[in-house]
């Protein structure tokens, strides 16, 4: 049921989830992302202001409410809500209509509620082809990637999806990275966790000049790595002559690389 409700909510949506702090001291990174990535999507850059409850920009839906709750929601003017956060598997039919102008959607789940797998993502993107930014905890464990490629729904998503920014809150191995690049050919920004021993191999693949699978990619963020990875990555780039014009920074255990 969740997938069909998401489809209703995202008829006019182009962003599923995006988390970026514009108050970061590393302004060069933030300015670069805004200039390069958000140039065509300025309508999604929102300056947070203190508003009354009738002018709220964000709303969190916690679960299937009772009729009294729905009545209370209906009394409020939620036309101004632009970003809806869903933390439940089920959505009440009557309450979906209270968010007519939503253009941002985040699905926030806990380990105890929903385990997001590739199957869930394919189903989600099948009904939301206009989404260009995806932030999710995705498990690649015990997935036959080759069998998924033969799936009719997968082929539709492969051709129609517009994902340009992908944030994976989980660890990816080399095979998973290859599959991600295959599934999202328009990918420009990628953030994920990578095992230290696989960083070099993945870098060579993502930055290789022998194929055009990552021709649109210009920003890579590797999460939760030790600082020594900064030096190791610089050495790989130099020894392999991967590119000349690039920037690399280590911030709060995240390695940022953009070119």
User: What's the CATH number where 236 sits?
Assistant: 3.80.10
Does residue 65 fall inside a structural domain? no
Angle between helices 174-183 and 152-160 (to 10 degrees): 70
The model's pLDDT over 42-82, given as tens digits with 9 standing for 90+, comes to 333 332 333 344 466 787 777 655 555 555 555 455 777 76
- Concatenate the DSSP letters of all residues of 113-182 into one string: T---BHHHHHHHHHH-TT--EEEE--B-TT--HHHHHT-HHHHHHHHH----EEEEEEEE-HHHHHHHHH
How far are the Cα atoms of 32, 221, 252 from residue 257, in angstroms, in the given order? Answer: 11, 6, 14
> Is the pTM value of this prediction over 0.75?
no
> Is residue 103 situated within a structural domain?
no
Residue 135 maps to a domain: yes
Domains in the chain: how many in total?
1
Decide if 94 is inside a domain. no
Query: Is 18 inside any structural domain?
Result: yes
For residue 176 the two structure tokens come to 């998973």
| Whole-angstrom distance, CA of residue 199 vs CA of residue 215 | 19
Instruction: Evaluate whether residue 203 is within a structural domain.
Output: yes
224: domain range? Answer: 13-45+110-258
Residue 182 forms part of a structural domain:
yes
Q: C-alpha angle 244/189/122, rounded to 5°?
A: 140
Residue 178 lies in a domain: yes
What pLDDT score does 130 carry?
A: 75
pLDDT in tens, the chain (259 residues): 444 544 444 443 344 443 433 344 454 554 444 444 444 433 333 323 333 444 667 877 776 555 555 555 554 557 777 666 766 655 555 555 566 666 555 666 554 444 456 777 787 778 777 778 787 776 665 556 666 677 889 999 999 998 899 988 888 889 889 989 999 999 999 999 999 999 999 999 998 878 888 999 999 999 999 999 999 999 999 988 888 789 999 999 999 999 9
Pairing of strands 219-223, 189-194: parallel
């Amino acid at each position: 049921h969740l997938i069909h409700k998401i489809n209703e909510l995202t008829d006019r949506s182009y962003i599923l989830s995006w988390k970026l702090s514009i108050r970061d001291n590393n302004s060069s990174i933030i300015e670069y992302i805004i200039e390069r990535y958000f140039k065509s999507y300025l309508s999604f850059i929102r300056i947070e202001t203190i508003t009354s409850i009738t002018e709220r920009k964000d709303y969190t839906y916690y679960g299937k409410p009772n009729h009294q709750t729905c009545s209370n929601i209906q009394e409020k003017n939620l036309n101004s809500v632009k970003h809806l956060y869903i933390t439940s598997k089920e959505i009440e039919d009557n309450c979906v209509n209270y968010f007519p102008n939503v253009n941002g959607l985040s699905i926030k789940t806990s380990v105890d509620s929903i385990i997001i797998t590739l199957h869930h993502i394919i189903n989600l993107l099948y009904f939301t082809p206009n989404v260009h930014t995806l932030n999710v905890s995705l498990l690649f464990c015990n997935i036959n990637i080759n069998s998924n490629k033969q799936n009719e729904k997968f082929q539709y998503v492969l051709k129609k999806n517009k994902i340009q920014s992908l944030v994976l809150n989980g660890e990816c191995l080399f095979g998973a990275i290859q599959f991600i690049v295959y599934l999202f050919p328009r990918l420009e920004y990628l953030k994920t966790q990578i095992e230290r021993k696989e960083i070099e191999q993945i870098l060579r693949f993502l930055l290789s000049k022998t194929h055009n699978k990552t021709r649109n990619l210009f920003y890579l963020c590797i999460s939760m790595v030790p600082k020594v990875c900064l030096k190791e990555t610089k050495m790989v780039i130099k020894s392999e002559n991967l590119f000349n014009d690039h920037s690399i920074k280590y911030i709060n255990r995240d390695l940022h690389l953009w070119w």
